[in-house]
Amino acid sequence: MKLSGRIFYTSITAITAAIVAFAVFRPITVLPRSTIAPGWSLTDASGRAINSEMLRGHMVLYNFSSADCSGTCASQQSALQALFDRLDRLPTEPPITFITLRVDGSTITAHAAHGHEWLTLSGDAPTLKRVVGAGFGVFYDRTTLEPALVLVDGWGIRRAEYRQPQPSVDALERDLGLLLDEARNSTGIARYAYEAAHLFLCYPT
Amino acid sequence: MIIIFAAAVTTSAFVIGIQLPAPVARVDSRLVATPGATIFGEPGVRELAPHHLEARVLARTWQFDPREIRVKVGDTVTFFYTSQDVIHGVKLMGSNVNMMIIPGQVSRLSATFEKAGTFKFLCHEYCGLGHHTMYGEVIVEP
């Protein structure tokens, strides 16, 4: 066999081995890309209009609540507060924003910590139904509000959903960390490694 | 063959942008039919917003639960399927809903019904002796 032929077949074998090794050992873990999150325009407690386009580049964790938040709603909010208090462990860039959508139209004042913000937004009933019900797929009526958290990346793509009454704060922190790592590191040539991680379904277990 | 395969994978991933479907959610198939444990504990249809419905369908040998889904013309329905026992499949006639139903995983697809009629959905993955009896229907009312 000629030298050029050997080089060709050796290269092909090396590339194939690298692909298989990547798929098996998963050196990069990513969160799956789901669907596009719904667009919205809502108001905060001061009446300021905020829309989803203003949050491009932010990692957004959506949650859903109401004024009479009790039971699973209360336990989910306490888990979120625990997570928010842990945000100092995570990088400050890109910013993380928590958004609580109040399905009954009520709002409370926003607060911030560690360079990250927690907004509480609301709107009129038809708009909320369109955003929360049709957009995020969260069922609610006068007496019921299903627990749900939705993690959206800086491009507005849903990356994780948590529908349990008691979300794991550790799992939420891990997923936020993965998302931040991907946003900060997937540039230049490393972007192709992250795309390969998506291709080979290198998701957290 | 390896060269062709590697080229096809590379082209589809990085040029065409084809991605494998991501898992929507996972459920414990032992508890899937228990009310309150998962969204399939109380299968059925409910309205998320005007003209936006959610259908939670539990597949098991050899039936779909619910077997009949009623919607209105213009409704968009997001179907969630899972299996309690073995691998099933679902094909909803006249729509893009065509997917595997795997125990422990949730399969999700949406369809908008633009015209009235009755549309059968059936298991298209052989699942045992009663496979041919495993079907249901979506009734789209005007």
Element housing B91 (H / E):
strand B88-92
**Calpha distance B39→B32 (Å, rounded):** 8
Residue-by-residue pLDDT tens, chain A, 205 positions: 677 888 988 999 998 888 888 877 888 999 999 889 999 999 988 888 999 999 999 999 999 998 888 888 888 888 888 988 888 888 878 899 999 999 987 777 667 666 788 899 999 999 999 999 999 999 998 888 888 999 999 999 999 998 877 888 999 999 999 999 999 999 999 999 999 898 888 888 7
Task: For residue B7, tell me if it sits in a domain.
Answer: no
Residues of A in contact with B39 (CB under 8 A): 163
Which of helix, strand or coil describes residue B44? strand
Q: Number of Cβ pairs closer than 8 Å across A and B?
A: 51
Q: Provide the number of structural domains found in chain B.
A: 1
Share of chain B above pLDDT 90, in %: 62
Distance from CA of B6 to the nearest CA of A (A): 7
Establish if B6 belongs to a structural domain: no
- Structural domain including B30 reads 22-141
CB contact under 8 A, B50 and A129: yes
Q: Which residues of B touch A203 (CB under 8 A)?
A: 22-23
- CA dihedral (B21, A194, A176, B105) in degrees, to 10, reads 20
Q: Among all chains, which residue has been given the structure tokens 């065509």?
A: B98
How would you classify the pairing of strands A116-121 and A96-102?
parallel
B6-61: per-residue pLDDT in tens? Answer: 888 777 766 665 555 555 677 888 888 888 778 888 899 999 999 999 999 999 99
Write out the two tokens for B104.
């422990």
Tell me whether residue B76 is in a domain. yes
- Asked, for residue B17, whether it belongs to a domain, the answer is no
Within 13 Å and on the Cβ side, how many CA atoms surround B130?
10
- In 3-state terms chain B splits into helix, strand, coil percentages (rounded to 5) of 15, 45, 40
CATH number for the domain including B51?
A: 2.60.40.420
With beta carbons under 8 A apart, name residues in chain A contacting B49.
129-130, 132-134
Q: Determine contact, residues A43/A107, Cβ cutoff 8 Å.
A: yes
| Domain membership flag for residue B14 | no
Residues of B in Cβ contact (< 8 Å) with A139: 46, 48, 54
Contact criterion met (CB < 8 Å) for A133 and B22? no
Probe site for chain A from B48, B54, B106, B108 (most A CB atoms < 10 A): B48
CA-CA-CA-CA dihedral for B89, B20, A169, A146, to nearest 10: -40
Domains detected in chain A: 41-199 (3.40.30.10)
